[in-house]
Structure 1
Amino acid sequence: MSESGSRIRSIEAIPVGLRYTHDGPPTGFGGTNWTTLRYALVKVCTEDGLTGWGEGFGYNVLPATVAVIRDTLAPLAAGRDAADISGLMGWLKHTLHLFGRGGPTQYALGGLDIALWDLAGKRAGVPLGQLLGGLSRREIPAYSSLMRMPDPRAVAVACERVRERGYAQVKLHEHTVEAVAAARAALGDDFELMLDVNCAWTPNEALAMAQRLVPHRLKWLEEPIYPPEDFDALARLRERAPVPLAAGENLPNAWAFKAAIASGALDFVQPSVTKVGGVSEFRTILELASMHGRAVAPHSPYFGPGLLATLQLAGHSALIGGIESFGVKLETPLFGDVGLPDARGLIRVPDGPGLGADPDPEIVARCRIE
């Protein structure tokens, strides 16, 4: 046993499915309709009795993320020093790189990394943002990130409700100019509107659509081109498109962000802490964005420890103007009201040690997927 007692005793992957409602009919992403929001919680216990919580990206890929945590990470990391985050995560990433530097392997690594930072904050008795160098603010503006709607009228109704809930920004996941026009008409001129098309278009289609979207004054157009790693095409689009561009949720690690930022393609970079490798990789991306004068708009449509990690990072870094809040209503929130927007569209950074709060064990048990 180490003198600090910080060696890892156990690592557990806990798949959960949180029930929710939203303003439209059943929908989802990745080819399926969602009945629950599925997350891979990571529970790390150390020899001195501390518990840290993390989250690896789940949803449709949940079984694969859980399998990597259970069958690969847990055996490798057991007995290692949880306090040596850089050393342990660097060794794990190097050891596992032959299985891929993205996807479920990276999602699992990110979940463990978040849990290790949660433990570090708890051991120090301070919130993660304080541990990273200080919290510059305690409330973070949130934008409502809506699921895809069936038609422009449904988009307009959903946007009206978003405005009533106190938000000042909304992001759509639509593919038509008509849907965006309906949103702008419902929201008015003073509301910030973003559009994420999830890599729907070819480069030529993206340029044509960007030009048609100009009258609706988008704050950004997100992931306009497939494949998302075609930085040359994105850079050409940014030169010619009259709308700011955003991307990054599908970039696998900080090295990929280095290339994306250096290409000059993006106005907003969008790392997802549960997909990109956790807090450690996210911090590197913040440094890269700062050096190149780029804003950071985190991808965070989840309600587990990854959301709390994102809040702590946003409270720490002035590069992050606001964060994404999934536009749904949870029936079973893991943290109660913690991490949820208030009537002003603001989310308070939790001030407990580590991530700021632990999941409710009764909710975890009730929502666990066996």
Structure 2
Amino acid sequence: MSRITKLRTIRLPERPNLIWVEIETEDGLTGLGEAFRGAQAVEAVLHEQVAPWLLGRDARRIEQVSRHLLTPYVGFGASGAETRAAAAVDIALWDLAGQRHGIPLHEALGGASRDAIRAYNTCAGYDYNSRGAQRVIGAGDALAGPYDDQVAFNRDAGVLAESLLSEGYCAMKIWPFDPFAAATQGQSIGLEELKKGLEPFEKVRKAVGGRIEIMCEMHSMWSAPAAERICQALEPFGIYWAEDPIGKMDDIKALAELRRRTRVPICASETLGGKRAFRDLLAAEATDIVMLDLSWCGGLTEARKIAALAEAHAKPLAPHDCTGPVALWAGLHLALHAPTAIFQEVVRAAISTWYRDLVTDLPTLHQGMIAAPDAPGLGTRLAPGLKERPGTITREAAAS
């Protein structure tokens, strides 16, 4: 038995969306997990609901813990606070399993399907999505640094594409239609706005031709007719996928109909939680690419079941990360293991700056590829001194 003796949560005031979970066991090991968005709500679930049940249990029984935490009386079947809390615990338990056996998580999951995975760059800036609200980019915004890619794709996406190619990236993701959604609450998009949104795609193709893939992030902002108009306008640019085009992505019927009405491949969805949502998505033939977030869908245990569903439907898999470094590590291990995985998402602005302030190690990225790590477990720990930083909120629960 590997008895769980302590559950600890850590939050930093400068990263209010993030929460980390450390689980300690009687054999002296500490597993690390992470959740993102609504960190205070996740903290409450962890301490008021999870810890009283979890403490004292065997950390080796990952499947049993996952099934229990993902089926509360209410709060299941989505990516709400209960699921995000369960995901953080699950990632920490898998980290413990890898450490216990001295193997990386992709090996603990059953072995790698590849030695490395392609990375694509989500063209966000340094603080995108990390300090509460998403950053709104204006026409005259100054670059905060060489990787302020959200400003860059709004200025000249062609120049940005050349920069990414020089570092070996083979794909980039942008979201130039987002600013136009608010005017109609996403119900429609006018011709002038449509033309403005297409400009970055035109600039990329003019600058580098087909040497880089382009994904269009749509952030679940649009009605089905508006999404259809955008997707059909994108068809001449040969984009790799349109991601989360309608709001919300659990409207499987509307999504399946959209997929039938456009030649642009549909990618769905980081916002969904649990295998049942993905089962329904795939059964309805509503997506071409399966995207999931390890800290939102329920953790590695649930994610590998979703990956198996994707494989059974002959669909490629692309783990999401625009949230935190631990979720990136977890997604990478799944991407290395899952047979149909094609990409691991990264944000070069994050991995080159603030991710490095939070953890001891980050994945090795070279010429657009991320190599399989060989360190036991996830391969990273929280940075030394992080818990002692001013304003850090740490809570602990211990077994009696």
TM band (smaller chain): 0.7 to 0.9
The alpha-carbon deviation at position 318 of structure 1 amounts to 2.4
1:270 aligns with 2:291: yes
Q: State how 1:84-163 maps to structure 2 within 5 Å.
A: 84-94=61-71, 96-102=72-78, 103-147=80-124, 149-150=137-138, 152-163=154-165
- Picking from 4, 8, 28, the partner of 1:8 is 4
Aligned position for 1:57: 36
Do 2:31 and 2:95's aligned partners in 1 also have CA atoms closer than 8 Å? yes
Select between 307-316 and 360-369 the one with higher mean Cα deviation. 360-369
Aligned position for 1:250: 271
Q: Deviations over 1:99-125 (max 9, x none)?
A: 343311100100000001111111111
Do 1:273 and 1:282's aligned partners in 2 also have CA atoms closer than 8 Å? yes
Select between 152-161 and 297-306 the one with higher mean Cα deviation. 152-161
Do 1:223 and 1:247's aligned partners in 2 also have CA atoms closer than 8 Å? yes
Q: Deviations over 1:300-343 (max 9, x none)?
A: 2233222111111111122111110024132451345522523x
Aligned position for 1:215: 236
Q: Deviations over 1:31-65 (max 9, x none)?
A: xxxxx58421110001121111111223xx22222
Aligned position for 2:185: none
Aligned position for 2:362: 338
Measured in 2, the distance between the counterparts of 1:368 and 1:65 equals 18
Measured in 1, the distance between the counterparts of 2:214 and 2:229 equals 19
SS of corresponding position for 1:284: helix
Aligned position for 1:26: none
SS of corresponding position for 1:257: helix
Select between 169-178 and 258-267 the one with higher mean Cα deviation. 169-178
Measured in 2, the distance between the counterparts of 1:220 and 1:283 equals 22
Q: Deviations over 1:73-122 (max 9, x none)?
A: 1222111111111112212323x241343311100100000001111111
The alpha-carbon deviation at position 13 of structure 1 amounts to 1.4
Identity of aligned residues (%): 34
State how many pairs are aligned. Answer: 345
- Picking from 50, 59, 69, the partner of 1:82 is 59
Select between 71-80 and 354-363 the one with higher mean Cα deviation. 354-363
Aligned position for 2:145: none
- Picking from 191, 208, 217, the partner of 1:196 is 217
Measured in 2, the distance between the counterparts of 1:350 and 1:335 equals 15
Q: Deviations over 1:128-172 (max 9, x none)?
A: 111111123232211000127545425444434323332111011
The alpha-carbon deviation at position 360 of structure 1 amounts to 2.2
Q: 1:231 to 1:368 in 2, by over 3 A?
A: farther
Measured in 2, the distance between the counterparts of 1:351 and 1:118 equals 13
The alpha-carbon deviation at position 263 of structure 1 amounts to 0.7
Task: Show structure 1 runs of 5+ residues with no match.
Answer: 19-35
Do 2:335 and 2:341's aligned partners in 1 also have CA atoms closer than 8 Å? yes
The alpha-carbon deviation at position 265 of structure 1 amounts to 0.9
Aligned position for 1:33: none
Q: 1:332 to 1:281 in 2, by over 3 A?
A: closer
Q: 1:181 to 1:67 in 2, by over 3 A?
A: farther
Do 1:350 and 1:357's aligned partners in 2 also have CA atoms closer than 8 Å? no
| Amino acid aligned to 2:374 | D
The alpha-carbon deviation at position 179 of structure 1 amounts to 3.0
Measured in 1, the distance between the counterparts of 2:385 and 2:370 equals 24
| Amino acid aligned to 1:362 | G
Measured in 1, the distance between the counterparts of 2:388 and 2:169 equals 32
Aligned position for 2:320: 299
1:348 aligns with 2:324: no
SS of corresponding position for 1:76: helix
Measured in 1, the distance between the counterparts of 2:391 and 2:156 equals 32
Q: Deviations over 1:179-222 (max 9, x none)?
A: 33233334432111101110122111111111111121100011
Measured in 2, the distance between the counterparts of 1:348 and 1:133 equals 17
Aligned position for 1:32: none
| Amino acid aligned to 1:341 | L
The alpha-carbon deviation at position 229 of structure 1 amounts to 0.9
Measured in 2, the distance between the counterparts of 1:340 and 1:363 equals 22
Task: Show structure 2 runs of 5+ residues with no match.
Answer: 125-135, 140-153, 178-196, 394-400
| Amino acid aligned to 2:75 | F
| Amino acid aligned to 2:379 | G
Structure 2 length normalisation: TM-score?
Answer: 0.81
Measured in 1, the distance between the counterparts of 2:382 and 2:198 equals 40
Q: 1:361 to 1:260 in 2, by over 3 A?
A: same
Measured in 1, the distance between the counterparts of 2:29 and 2:310 equals 34
SS of corresponding position for 1:99: coil
